[in-house]
Structures are given as structure tokens and as C-alpha cells.
Chain A
């Protein structure tokens, strides 16, 4: 053993001083890329069959001493297809490498520093290159992933810049414990989701500059993710940021800017239509306006004459032309020993809705150093700060988009003297233009994410790796309700502050082994991982300000809230993983992780999560070796168990907690614990085929999976007489099954013209298998035997042409006016049956044009806004949707909009035969709509200046580009935006924007 090692080291050392080999000859040359024709530094050049390796220098040049008997050189570089070039008599060799981003030879980083060639993968991974998401005008990379990977559904349901997004990998596998995947950025387990406390929506991942990202590996199945054990059930997303390469220092500058607009405004009535509808509703209710109560008559009179009364466009006032700008400056380079990537970025987006904006500044330092041949280390550090300004969100009266949609158009926005009109008639007391200007809703997040990794190459086979990571986040929020607004007037202004910190620390210690002998290739990793999170914060608020000019808490007359909290958890995991390949043909992998968490009940602290997978590279078999058009063909299958530990930190404990006070005394409140509370368990079976055909012109993969989640964390209802409504219990089962397709084709490749298509499609079905205590349904949303998140309500049957009254279907499919609970039926799930994305890229020389379409189908949306905007004059205190114009007016009218009646659904006088009519605008199937859509998400055009033009300028490359985002949408959904999951109620609609940018390389 020792001798072998010695020999190995000698070989390596000798290869660096190859000049010593007098009998050898030297081959030199230059390596460039076929994509941009630029030199590639850092390419590894290896003499085949030996350990002689050199790397190309700053201008792509290399010089290698080769033995006389050497047959060929192998050129390899991350992201490019490996190339073998035969050694001829010439001592000069110029090589062009072509990018391999869509081929199976890609290197994949899958956590704990494990690097694998994509061809060796036996699990289900979706890999997205940083290039694919660069410069997309969104604030967080998770949002930019939308539509890019099979099995990954991203829903950005708010158009507030920096908003949180919903990420569902392979459907939703939990009902209550959360469906967010685990995010790992350069070895750091980072916090994700919305961690703000008062701000409408804030994405913790918005602190990462998407343009710093090199690649994203989404690990979907048990084989890929099981090394993360109890945290992996929702998938694991491994983000690798850019790192330096040895060679000449490269400076890159990138800037883009543009404008944004709201994707769609709500179609609402103008004043004339609004008055006409209101009058009609009152007349239908009382017989005539004169017979209506005096108060109602006064209101109608105040509206004025429909022919002359002006329309005040509140939506016009709350939406504006937003602006965005983004700047990145990075430098990367290094030498054999030290490599660096440093970058700074600034991003600013002024929202398309008043009062909303986003600003982020950040820097990144990624430094690698090789102390010796045995010891090396890598460090990553991301420092960033982002600030969001917002407005009251959702259905709050001060929510601009919501109130603008519902404000009676008869209300002027401004008084004659230019001041804000605050004497507003109707159900919405806030002048939202005023509140957006006067009130403050702000969140600032500061983040420091850092990692230190040390590597110690013990022997050629064994490596010890130690990694320490921290994610520190500080969120400061402040709010101010101005005393000049209705919400603030009663208390003479209200100010609040909140600060929240997350201190996450994780460390991994691993021992890696890799050995190749004969046809056997073995690698293994064993180690442990420890993590703790401390989350604490405080908040205070006060009321009673001397005037609106005083906005800080210090001026408040009365402190109303002072609060703080602390919560924490710890987890530890031990894991072993082994990969084996025989003859590069038969692949096998096995993982087991033993995980414990402080969140789990004392009886169920630890659990084991095993997984195994196999692969068979058919293309390596002799019987396919003659089939020239098959370059790669692999079958793979896996099975394993994953956990979901996303439960409350102290949910398992019976505790008393400070709660409530009375007469100046503090109170405490009991909670009911469960010693058996533990992780949810997802058993995943996966099978797939990966291929690359016709020299990579067609490549991709098709996979199928079944994921069964058991031990679902559900609240078992307790009889309230016990003093407790529910207890968290692990009980219940659900299932997701699906098919995932990824296909990349080069359709045309001729005369420098290239047309490529990248397509991903996912077909997904979910089913609830079991609930607690034999219950058949939960929250009227989950039903045993049905898809998850099911709408179960009365199906709307339209309007009776004879009398204009709304009708529904009863349990037997007959018409009824007053559906009861038994008449409810399943109208569809909030989850899509399928989704995906298609990108077409056309390039010719330096010009490229790319169009990205995202789609989903088969999901239902509850148009919650319509419950307020389609009331047929029942409440004449709010504006209505334009669909009210097709309301029933006379017998024989065929329509879906019932006859208007003021102050009720159908009044008693109009009811026949003692039938009580259900409210036409209640939450029924009338507002459950098809949420399928197809959206042209992104079009980008780029032009790279030819290098000839640049040679005199000293610039390495120049690219100018233009993009349009959320350009258009095809959908039947009649609400504001179909890109939501569930109910749309007061959401800030998405933006569309147009940007222009430039990229300079020095």
C-alpha cells in the first residue's frame, strides 16, 4: 500500500515538472471554446493512460511533455464535452471544446462535496445551469427556476418585488408540515420562505444574487436526496455559485434596466354602468326607487346622473410604470494555488403598484486555496442587504390593488384643491392612494452566508473533508399608520417595529473514499452533519403621535405592544453512502442516514432513512456498440425513504407559555404535547431512462415516480370539552405519482445557424389515502381517495332564463335554488395535472433569440375577488366586474349573471314556493374556475460582438441583450392572474417588463 502511494505521489509531482523527462517530447497549443471562440483557461490536459496532467493558462495555452508511446491527449473542462485528440507528429495542437451543458457528461454537485458525472447518476436530478436563469428580471433564483425543470413547480403568487414563491417538487407531499425543499448554497443549509413578520411577502432567498449562480441541482428522488435524511422529503436544491479559474483575471460587468407594468388590471364598471346597475338592483328589490328606504335613496341620489357623472379610475391611480435596474461586477481568476471569484451587485425595482419597491446590494467572495498537494480549502461568503417597501396587502382596506378594484367609481381620488379625498362613500373607507403615500410598510433583510471547507487528502483514496457554515439573517421591519388615514385617525397614528434574527449553523465532517481497480470503480462517503437554528426576535408598537411628521416609536404617547420570542432546534445526522460502477456499465448506489432532531417527541427522537439505486448503461454494452446513433443510453431505478422534519420546534412538548395579561398581571397558557410526534415519511420509488442520441442532437430523460407519504402530521381533533381543540399527531397517508420528461434537441445546425429546443413536461396525480381516526375529509379541502387540495362545493348551473335567479346542481344532477351540504361535489383540485416549459433558442453567429413558454393545466382556482366584484348590486357600496353587464334583465335572457337585487340574494317577495335561494355571491362553484394557462414568460435577444471588432479595444467580449418578461398569457381564467395556487383574493398581480442590458468582459 505504502509503496503504491509513494509511487502515486511521485507520479503526480513528476507530472508537474515534466521538463525533467528528457526523453519526452513537448506538445503545446491553445484551447478555445466553440461557443464564443474564446480561449479557455484551466482546461485539464491529460496524457491518456497516464497521470500526466497540466492545465491551460490564461490565454488557453498549454504545454505538456508526453512520453514517446503516448497515443492521445484528453481535454476536459467542467461544462464542456471531454475531447480525446490523437497525437500526431506535430508538436502543435489547437483544440476547440464545445459546451456540454445539456449532455450527460456534465459534472453534478450533489451535496457534501460529492461530484459525479451526470452519466453516473442513478437518482432523479434536475440540473439548471446558471446561464439559463441569468438576467431574468426577478429578485430570487427560486422564482427564476419557474418552468425550467421537470417535476418542479414554482408559483409566484404575488407581484410585489421580492415576493415569496411556492416551490413544490413532485407535488405536495405534506398537508401541514410544509412543502418547501431544503436549500443548500455552497454547503450552507440556508433558510428559505417568508421569514418576515409584518411585511406582506418577503423571500428569504432574495438575498442571493441569481447572477452569482453557476448551477442548480434539484434532487428529487430518494436516491439523490436521502443523504439529507429527515429534511429531504420535499427535495433538496443544491446551489453552486461561481468560482475562480486559474488564468488571467477576467472582469465581467453586466447591467440591465427596464420598465415594468402590471400584467393586467381588473375589468371594472365605469360610473354610468355602476349607477345603472345600482338603480336596477334597488328597483328589483323594492319595486321602485321611491319605495326604497330613505337611506338607500340618498345614496342613489349622491351618485348623480349616470349620463354626466364622471368616472374616477382608481386602478389607474394605484398602478404605475415601474422601473428596474441591475448591475453586477465580478472578477475571477487565480493561479495554480489560489483562485478567486468576487462580485458585487445592485438591484433595484420600483414596483408596478404604488408604494412598492425592492433594493438589494450584495457582495460575494469565493476563494479557493491549495496549501499543498494534500491540503486545500474553499471559502464562500455572501453579504447582502435588501429592502422592500410595501403596502397593506391582501384584502385589507389599505391594500391598493384590492381597494382600487372595489372603490365606487363615483368617488373622486382628489378634492378640488388637490388634497386627498377622504370622505369616501361605500365599503372601502381608505383612500389607498393616500395610504400608500403616507403609511410605511418596510422590511430590510441583512444576510451573511458563509462557508469554510477544508480538504485533507490522506491518501490517494481517502480524503477528509470538514465544513463549517453559517447563515445569519437579520430582518428589521417597521410600519407606520399615518394619523391622516382612517386606520390611523382613531389612535392618532400607530408605529411598529419588529426585528427577527436567524442564526443557523451547520457543520459536516466527512471521510471520502474513491478507488478504481480493474473495471471496478468505488466511491464512498461517511460522515456526520450537525445543525442548529436559533430564531429570536422582538417587536413593539405604539400609538398617539403628536403629528404625522413624527413617525418613530420614540414619539408614541402610548406603547401598545412590546414582545420578544426565542425558539431553536438542533439536529444531527450520521450517514454513509457508497457508489459502485463496474466497467462503467453497471451502476449501484446505497445510502443510509440516521437522523435525530430536537423537534421530535421524546419517544421518537431518531430515525433511519435508507435508499438504494441501480443503473445500467446500455450504450456501453457490446450489442449496442455498433449502433452509432446512440451515444448514451441508461436505465435507472431507485427506492428509498425520506423524512420531513418541518414541524414546530416545540410542538411535541407539553408546555406553559406566557400568554395574555389582565389587570397588569402576566398570564400563562398550557399547550398539549405529544411524546410520539415525529417526522413525516416519504417512500419514493423511481425509474427512468436517460439518453443522448445522434451525437447529442437529441438528449434527455424520461422518468416515473411514486411517492407515498405516511405519518402525515395532522391535527387530530379533540373534543373541546378537554380544553384543547387539536393535538398534532403523525397519522394519515397520501400519494403522488408522476411522469417527468426532459428533452433537448438541436433541430437545425447548418451554416452557423442553430435552432435548439429544450422542453420539460411533468404529469402529476395526487391522492389522499388516509386521514386520522377514519375521517373522510379535512377542512373541506382534503378528501380520502381524491386529489389533494380539492374544491368541494355546489356546482353552479347558471341563471334561470325565466326569472333570473341563480341555480345550482343538487346531488342528483337536478337543478336546485338552495343547495345544501349534501349537494356539494368535487369540482377539481388546486394542483395542476401537468406543467412544464419550452424554450426555443435560435442562434446565428453572435446573434441569439430565445423564447421561453411556461404552462400548466388541469388546476382550479377559486376566484375569491369575484365574490366581491360579482354581487349584482346586492351591495351598492363597491364597484363591480364588467361581467355584470351581461346580467339577467328580462325573461329569456341566457346568462351566467343573475338578476340584481339590492341588499340580499333573492328577496322573499321574489321567492316562489317557499324556496330559500342561496346567495349568488357566496363561496360556491360559481367562482371555481379553470386555472390552466400558457404564458410567454420570457423572450430574450442577444448579440455578441465579433471578437475581431474587439481585438483593438482590449475587451474580451461584449454582449448586448434585450428581454421581455411575462409578455402574454393565454387562459380562460377571468381573474387577474392564473399564476396562483388556490384562492385569488387581493393578490398583487404580476408584472410584465422589458429590459435592455449589456455584458462586458475584460
Chain B
């Protein structure tokens, strides 16, 4: 009897315990970290995720663009509003500013993982490897450039000797042991890295991916903008010229409202050198840029959309008479008794409310970059005039004959009007060390600590003694 018991006990125990792997359970919707990046499709998947992250409403899907407009002198919030972007419009200390630090570093890490692993894949053709690597370099450079512009002084306009940029992370983290507590690199080092990444990207990318994937022309265009910000005028000119000559983008010349509107009312803009693509399935819905600029059907009584962000008076005043851009991009609306203008640059150009591609770099900016760089170099006012007049004439405005400082003013004003509502303004002002003169007050560049965004408190709270706050915070 006793033996029977022992046999049963052992038998049962053994059947379920003999195999050591009884607990092994594999996920089906994920694969192990080691395996995922060994093939080119895996690395491409990671790169796709980077684009997807940048599309988010909290980044270039809406916030970076809207914040740049309302922090600066371009846009304000309507009286009746949904409480969105009010802190930013009021430049409220600590809470009303860019807050992209925590969103961007995971993107940079993924770029790093792509760059680290793409060369090791065995199944990728050299063309595929070059394309993936080039895009990752471009995206990393773009993200560092965004961080640099939000959290650090322009290298040519350092205030109070505060020359720190942001931490430079150039190697991918895939395990806990690789986590480090880095310090902020000098802003000059950050710019050097951005330029290096873009130069390599330019050398290995081509333009076969079209406008919605970063290609050679996109990298040249961003390189032109970086050079302009870094006051390397010749490089800004050269790269703008390369981007223009790539023929990826078509400069629209028709000087009419309809002509100008055609830049913004098609799914893919003829002017784009690079834009973020949104399928209908990727709609950001109520957090889309169209929702903040207008309501459904441009109707003030519609309850879909907010229509909260509208131009400030000082921007409206900057439009010259007969500027077709005003009629083409602004629509007068009476919102709850308040006459305002709703921006039409993101008007559901995919054919669906809330779905617009976000244009990151347009060819018009290349002409403006080049015009400014010529004007700044001196002695090339004619070339500068030619470029800026392309923009002016297309807007139905007469050619400018100004020279010298007056010409530079014309170019900067054209830049403001041409790129208005597209997220250029804040960065354009602070890269020049300019004061921000808004309808509701002025931020003096030299003294106002709100020129720089605060490093998030949560990051400072993590025992990282290396991370230094921005001055005044």
C-alpha cells in the first residue's frame, strides 16, 4: 500500500516537474532584443517607429509648431478657449514652454540603435543600409537641433557665459548596464555633432524616397538651416542651392490666392523638401494641428475642433496690403462674438478633418535662407534681392530694392510672413538674439530667463548631479 502511494506521488510530481522548461512562455507579439535588430527589416522597423514618435501630437504633430507660434509674437489664444496653450501664450514661468526633453531622448536612443546595428545586418543590400543609416543620422541631427534650440542659447548668442547644450548620447542603450548619467555637452559640441551627422547623411542618402522620408535634399535643406543658425553664411547658401537644385520640390510661382493656397491644400505639398506623412488611420483627432487652428467646416458654431490659436495683432499688422498670403491662409471668423482669423495652412489637406501632413522644410525657406545669408555676407545684395523677391512677387507684392540693413529687415519680415503658423518663429527670433515683442508683453533676450525652456524637474530629481539646470530656474 505504502509503495502505491509513493509511486503515485512520484509519478504525478515527475510528470509536471521533469521538464525544466515547464514555465517557458514566449510572447507572440514581441521578439527578443537580440533577434530583432539582426535583420534589415528589424532595423527598418525601428526607424519607422522613430518617424511614428516624431509624428506625435506632443512633438511635431502639433506642439512644437504651436508652441513656437504662441511663445513668440505670432499667435495668441482666443477669449473663448479650451484652456490649451494658455500657459505658453503667457510665457508662464516653468509651466509654459517647450517640454520635449523626455520625448526626444528615447527617439535619439532608437536612432542610435539603428546606427549601431544597421551595418551588422547580413541581409541588407548596401543601398538599403545606406538609406536606413542616412535617415537615422538625419533624424538624430534634427532631434538634437530641436533640443539645442529649445534648451540652449544659440552658440553665437550665449548669455551670461552659459554655453551648455544638451547631453550628447551617441550609442544605443539596450540593457540596464548601459545606462549612464551624462552631463550636458557644450552647445558648440552639439552643433558640431549635428553638422557631422548631416554631412554624412548627405553623402550617403539619395532622393528616391520622395518627400515623406528624409532624403539627400532634406538633409541639405536642414544643413542650410543649421548653418544659418550658426551664422556660417556660405554654407547656408551652398546647401540651400543644393536643396533647390535637387528638383525634389517645386517652387510655386502663381501670384494668386489660389496659387498660394495650392502649397497647403494638397496632401503632399509641391514645395516640400521633407514632410511628415499622416494616413487617415494616423489621425491625431482632437489633438491634431487642424483642431487647434480651426473648427470643423471653419464654422464657429461647430463643436468639433477648438479654433483657439489665432494670429496676434502685431502679426496681422505685418502683412502688407494686397499680400495674397493673408487671403490664402487666414479666414475671418466671428468666434463667440470675437472677430478672429483662423489659420488655413492645415485645413485637412488629406481630405479628412484632423488629417494634414506636417511640412517640415519647404523650398521657400531655402530662398529665404539664401537671401539672408547673401545679405549678411555683404556685397551680394543683388543676389539677396533676387531670392527674397521670388517670395515677394509670388505673394503679389512688388520687388524690394532695399539694400544693407534695410534689405535684411525685409528678408526677416518675409521669413516671418512666409513661414508663419508653421513653427518657425520662436526659433527664428532667439537664434538672432532678438527680443520677443508680443501683444501681451515683451521678453527681453538678454535678461529674460524664459528664453530657454526649463530642463524637466523630473530629470533633475533623478539623482543625476551631472544635469545642470538652465540659468534662473
Q: In the complex, A490→B45 CA distance in Å?
A: 32
Interface centre among A509, A596, A649 (most CB of B within 10 A): A509
Q: How far is the CB of A706 from chain B (nearest CB, A)?
A: 32
Q: In the complex, A773→B181 CA distance in Å?
A: 14
Interface: B362 (CB within 8 A): no
Closest to A397 in B: B303
Q: Which A residues, 797 to 821, have Cβ-Cβ distances below 8 Å to chain B?
A: none
Write out the residue numbers on chain A whose beta carbons fall within 8 Å of the beta carbon of B178.
722
- Contact A458 B1, beta carbon cutoff 8 Å: yes
- Contact B213 A655, beta carbon cutoff 8 Å: no
- Contact B296 A423, beta carbon cutoff 8 Å: no
Q: In the complex, A570→B335 CA distance in Å?
A: 59
Q: In the complex, A640→B51 CA distance in Å?
A: 52
Q: Which B residues, 9 to 53, have Cβ-Cβ distances below 8 Å to chain A?
A: 9, 12-13, 16-17, 22-25, 27-33, 36-37, 42, 44-53
Closest to B457 in A: A821
- Contacts A295-B79, A560-B280, A568-B25 given: A670-B46 contact, CB under 8 Å? yes
Q: In the complex, A981→B176 CA distance in Å?
A: 36
- Contacts A294-B337, A489-B296, A530-B16 given: A565-B29 contact, CB under 8 Å? yes
Q: In the complex, A558→B36 CA distance in Å?
A: 32
Stretch in B165-173, B231-239, B242-250, B325-333 touching the partner: B165-173
Q: In the complex, A459→B2 CA distance in Å?
A: 9
Interface: A909 (CB within 8 A): no
Interface: B5 (CB within 8 A): yes
Contact mask for chain A residues 659-673; partner B; CB cutoff 8 A; 1 contact, 0 none: 111111111111111
Grouping DSSP codes into helix (H, G, I), strand (E, B) and loop, the A interface class, with mixed when no group exceeds half, is mixed
Write out the residue numbers on chain B whose beta carbons fall within 8 Å of the beta carbon of A666.
45, 48
- Contact A528 B17, beta carbon cutoff 8 Å: yes
Q: In the complex, A717→B458 CA distance in Å?
A: 9
Contact mask for chain A residues 698-727; partner B; CB cutoff 8 A; 1 contact, 0 none: 000000000000000000011111111101
Contact mask for chain A residues 423-448; partner B; CB cutoff 8 A; 1 contact, 0 none: 11001011000000000000000000
- Contact B173 A724, beta carbon cutoff 8 Å: yes
Write out the residue numbers on chain A whose beta carbons fall within 8 Å of the beta carbon of B181.
719
Interface: A521 (CB within 8 A): no
Contact mask for chain B residues 91-111; partner A; CB cutoff 8 A; 1 contact, 0 none: 000000000011001101110
How extensive is the interface on chain B, given as a class?
35 or more
Write out the residue numbers on chain B whose beta carbons fall within 8 Å of the beta carbon of A649.
25, 27
Q: In the complex, A671→B49 CA distance in Å?
A: 13
A598 CB contact (under 8 Å) in B4, B25, B50, B176: B25
Contact mask for chain A residues 177-199; partner B; CB cutoff 8 A; 1 contact, 0 none: 00000000000000000000000
Q: In the complex, A684→B124 CA distance in Å?
A: 57
Stretch in A163-171, A266-274, A296-304, A940-948 touching the partner: A296-304
Interface: A997 (CB within 8 A): no
Q: In the complex, A353→B270 CA distance in Å?
A: 53
Stretch in B259-267, B370-378, B405-413, B460-468 touching the partner: B460-468
Write out the residue numbers on chain B whose beta carbons fall within 8 Å of the beta carbon of A296.
79, 337
- Contacts A462-B5, A486-B304, A572-B23 given: A670-B33 contact, CB under 8 Å? yes
- Contacts A1-B1, A655-B30, A719-B467 given: A295-B337 contact, CB under 8 Å? yes
Q: Which A residues, 712 to 750, have Cβ-Cβ distances below 8 Å to chain B?
A: 717-725, 727
Write out the residue numbers on chain B whose beta carbons fall within 8 Å of the beta carbon of A526.
9
Interface: B113 (CB within 8 A): yes
Write out the residue numbers on chain A whose beta carbons fall within 8 Å of the beta carbon of B279.
664
Interface: B305 (CB within 8 A): yes
Q: How far is the CB of B12 from chain A (nearest CB, A)?
A: 5
- Contact A720 B52, beta carbon cutoff 8 Å: no
Write out the residue numbers on chain B whose beta carbons fall within 8 Å of the beta carbon of A720.
101-102, 105-106, 456, 459
- Contact A656 B172, beta carbon cutoff 8 Å: no
Interface: A650 (CB within 8 A): yes
Q: In the complex, A49→B119 CA distance in Å?
A: 86
Q: How far is the CB of A131 from chain B (nearest CB, A)?
A: 38
- Contacts A491-B353, A661-B282 given: A570-B174 contact, CB under 8 Å? no
Q: In the complex, A658→B82 CA distance in Å?
A: 34
Write out the residue numbers on chain B whose beta carbons fall within 8 Å of the beta carbon of A569.
25
Q: How far is the CB of B102 from chain A (nearest CB, A)?
A: 5
Q: How far is the CB of B112 from chain A (nearest CB, A)?
A: 8
Write out the residue numbers on chain B whose beta carbons fall within 8 Å of the beta carbon of A674.
176
Q: In the complex, A509→B280 CA distance in Å?
A: 54
Q: In the complex, A423→B336 CA distance in Å?
A: 12
Q: In the complex, A1→B5 CA distance in Å?
A: 14
Contact mask for chain B residues 161-190; partner A; CB cutoff 8 A; 1 contact, 0 none: 000000101001111101111100000000
- Contacts A295-B80, A423-B301 given: A668-B49 contact, CB under 8 Å? yes
- Contact A665 B48, beta carbon cutoff 8 Å: yes
- Contact A561 B281, beta carbon cutoff 8 Å: yes
- Contacts A299-B336, A566-B28 given: A719-B464 contact, CB under 8 Å? yes
Interface: A605 (CB within 8 A): yes
Write out the residue numbers on chain B whose beta carbons fall within 8 Å of the beta carbon of A5.
1
Interface: A653 (CB within 8 A): yes
Closest to A600 in B: B23
Write out the residue numbers on chain B whose beta carbons fall within 8 Å of the beta carbon of A671.
30
Q: How far is the CB of A373 from chain B (nearest CB, A)?
A: 16
Interface: A511 (CB within 8 A): yes
Contact mask for chain B residues 137-178; partner A; CB cutoff 8 A; 1 contact, 0 none: 000000000000000000000000000000101001111101
Write out the residue numbers on chain A whose beta carbons fall within 8 Å of the beta carbon of B44.
665
- Contact A656 B36, beta carbon cutoff 8 Å: yes
- Contacts A566-B27, A567-B27 given: A558-B49 contact, CB under 8 Å? no
- Contacts A295-B80, A721-B167 given: A574-B13 contact, CB under 8 Å? yes
Closest to A301 in B: B337
- Contact A670 B25, beta carbon cutoff 8 Å: no
- Contacts A720-B101, A724-B106, A727-B176 given: A511-B17 contact, CB under 8 Å? no
Q: Which B residues, 39 to 92, have Cβ-Cβ distances below 8 Å to chain A?
A: 42, 44-53, 55, 79-80, 82
Interface: A1001 (CB within 8 A): no
Closest to A672 in B: B176
Write out the residue numbers on chain A whose beta carbons fall within 8 Å of the beta carbon of B352.
491, 558
Q: In the complex, A570→B55 CA distance in Å?
A: 38
Closest to B461 in A: A717
- Contact B8 A511, beta carbon cutoff 8 Å: yes
Interface: A254 (CB within 8 A): no
- Contacts A511-B9, A572-B16 given: A662-B55 contact, CB under 8 Å? yes
B280 CB contact (under 8 Å) in A459, A558, A721, A903: A558
- Contact B296 A490, beta carbon cutoff 8 Å: yes
Q: In the complex, A223→B304 CA distance in Å?
A: 59
Q: How far is the CB of B346 from chain A (nearest CB, A)?
A: 15
Q: How far is the CB of B418 from chain A (nearest CB, A)?
A: 27
Write out the residue numbers on chain B whose beta carbons fall within 8 Å of the beta carbon of A773.
463
Interface: B283 (CB within 8 A): yes
Q: In the complex, A574→B17 CA distance in Å?
A: 9
Interface: A559 (CB within 8 A): yes
Interface: B277 (CB within 8 A): yes
Q: In the complex, A558→B279 CA distance in Å?
A: 11
Write out the residue numbers on chain A whose beta carbons fall within 8 Å of the beta carbon of B467.
719
**9 pairs from A and B in contact (CB 8 Å cutoff):** A490-B296, A490-B305, A657-B29, A659-B52, A661-B48, A670-B36, A717-B462, A720-B106, A903-B79
10 closest residue pairs by CB, A with B: A723-B109, A660-B52, A298-B337, A429-B303, A667-B49, A656-B36, A667-B48, A662-B51, A486-B303, A490-B304
> Known pairs A293-B79, A656-B31, A667-B47. 17 more at Cβ < 8 A?
A295-B338, A299-B337, A458-B1, A464-B8, A489-B303, A528-B12, A558-B280, A571-B23, A597-B23, A653-B32, A658-B29, A662-B48, A663-B213, A665-B48, A672-B176, A674-B176, A722-B105
Binding site for B on A (CB under 8 A): 1-2, 5, 293-299, 422-424, 427, 429-430, 458-459, 462, 464, 486-487, 489-491, 509, 511, 526-528, 530, 558-561, 564-572, 574, 596-598, 605, 649-650, 653-674, 717-725, 727, 773-774, 877, 903
